[in-house]
Each structure stands twice: as structure tokens, then as C-alpha cells.
Amino acid sequence: MANVKKTAPRLRKLSVYLYIPNIIGYVRVLLNCIAFYLCFSDKRVFSVLYFISFVCDAIDGWCARKFNQVSTFGAVLDMVTDRISTACLLVILSQVYRPGLVFVSLLALDIGSHWLQMYRKVLLSLGNMPTTLDLCCSTFLTGKTSHKDVKDSTNWLFKAYYGNRMFMGYCCVACEVLYLILFLIAGKQSESLVDVVASAVRQGSPLSFLVALSLFGWAIKQTINVIQMKTAADVCVLYDIEKKQKP
């Protein structure tokens, strides 16, 4: 009996690791590793593998809901894979183009926004939260489990972005596609970003059309990151203020 009790938790733990969406997550990690290994030797293969990994992000979410295999581990694996893959691509672009600070800044915004948002969720998951904080942001206290659920937000752009899956999907895809195209059209190292994009537009390259199509979605995504970061920072500040005011 003792052996059965010891092995049961291990089996349950293993079953979560072997959830279908989590297996897809492992495949995403492998695809990204291969893609970045080949990024400078074969740009096209890199772009295909990177984009397949990105598409798998939506597939594993669908599988999690379809097979009732939603897990905290899977959500964390998914988010970490997204952030690291985008971060690596932005680092590469910062070395290919000048000014590289543009891409480094985008990297900082992406990581800062999502990290603050996760910290906000932790604060809101704590019990006995002050009244002001409860009213300002009630993601966890109203039973919500995702930062994508912002129906109570007063920001119209937040509602439009997170309230419409197709619009949000377009913005996310546009952002990644834009970065991939910029990498594909880059020539030698340390080229001017403006010069390369302008040259592609003048030549009437098919990729230039995709750049134009992606720019709007990319701009919306960055705006959402800024708003998200400011909202999460406000929650942290309110938490500190209310905590000091508690008797």
C-alpha cells in the first residue's frame, strides 16, 4: 500500500507533463532551438520553423480546451516560450540593423509588460485585498484566470483587443511577421533600418506589402503593451499605498 501511495503522485505529475498541449509546447521549444541555430546560415528555413512554432501556440491552446488539459505548467511553458523566442529574434535584429536600440527597447517593453502583468496577477490573487484595489482590478477576485479577460476594463482599446480573438490574433501575427520580414530583407550587418525598408518599398518587393499590412497590427500590439504595463504598475502602487494605510 505504501508503494502505491508513493507512486500515485508521480503518475499524476507525469500525466500533466504528457498532456497533449504540453507536448506541443516541447515541440515548439525544439523548433525554436533548430531555427535559431540555422538563423544566419538559412534565413528561409529559420523563418518557416519560427513561424510554425508561433502557429503551434494557437494549436496547443485549442488542444488544451478540446481535451480538457488546461494546466498552470502549460500556461507558463507557453508564455516563457513566446517571450524567449520573440526576445531572441529582437536581439538578432538589434545586431543586424542600426539603431539597434529600437529593437532592444521593443524587447524591454515586451518583457516588462508581461512580467508586470504576471506580478499584478499574483497581487490580485492574495486574500484580504484592500477595497480600492478590489475595485480597480478584479481579475482574480472575480474568478478570472487569464490576463486576456478584461471585460471590466474601462479602456476601449483593451476591450477591442482582448474582446475580439480575430483582432488580437491579427495583431500578434502581424508583430511576428513584421520581425521575420525585417530579418529576411536585411543584407549585411549594421544597415540602417529606414534605408532597408525604404529600398524594399521602392523595389516593389512582395514582402514590402506584408510590411505595410503588418505595421498597423504591430503598432496596436505595442500600444497594448504600454497600457498593460501602466495598468499593472498602478496595481502595484495601489497595493503599497493600501497596505501602508491598513491598521
Residues annotated as part of the active site: 82
Closest of 231, 183, 238 to residue 210, by C-alpha: 183
Cα–Cα distances in angstroms (integers) from residue 53 to residues 14, 57, 178, in the given order: 24, 7, 16
Instruction: Confirm if 232 and 120 have CB atoms less than 8 A apart.
Output: yes
**3-state SS string for 16-67:** HHCCHHHHHHHHHHHHHHHHHHCCCCCHHHHHHHHHHHHHHHHHHHHHHHHC
In angstroms, rounded to a whole number, what is the distance separating the alpha carbons of residues 50 and 184? 12
Spatial separation of the C-alpha atoms in residues 212 and 116, rounded to whole Å: 31
SS3 of 152, please? coil
Can you say whether the dihedral through the CA atoms of 144, 147, 148, 151 is positive or negative? Answer: positive
